[in-house]
Amino acid sequence: MTRGREAPARQQYVYFVQQGEDGPIKIGLSVDPEKRLSSLQVSTSEPLYLRAATPGDWSVEEGLHQHFAHLHIQGEWFRPGPDLLRLLAYLGDFYGERTRRVVEAIRPPATPQHRKPYLWVVK
């Protein structure tokens, strides 16, 4: 590192971890969502799945917490209501099948202006 220069900030991601196939969903923030999934998994016997992640910061995470407040259970955990599942389907519809399996009946808008190329789903 050059003297007087700061290291570049690491990219943060807002992630969605689901407990089981149809359980509650955690909306959290991490620089490494897969590593975070591993650390969460040690505290529960129920399998956890990383459903999606997108670049973001605390303000994006907080905005999602506020948007889904009507589904709030405790801490960062939310019931898998239709609107939250639609978001996961949107992410999965653009990037793969994994999320779509969880919410087969829900189809997000398919128009190009609704697609965001910076979103991704961890498979």
- H or E segment to which residue 54 belongs: strand 48-55
CB neighbours of 7 closer than 8 A, spacing ≥ 6? 1
Query: Per the confidence metrics, is the pTM higher than 0.85?
Result: no
Say whether pLDDT at 112 is over 50. no
Q: Are 44 and 88 in contact (CB under 8 A)?
A: no
Highest mean pLDDT among 10-14, 19-23, 95-99: 19-23
pLDDT digits (tens, 9 = 90+) for 45-90: 999 998 888 888 899 899 999 999 999 999 999 999 999 998 888 8
| Mean pLDDT, rounded, for 84-112 | 55
- pLDDT given for residue 108 in this prediction: 39
Neighbours of 120 (CB within 10 A): 16
Q: Which two tokens stand for residue 58?
A: 């605390």
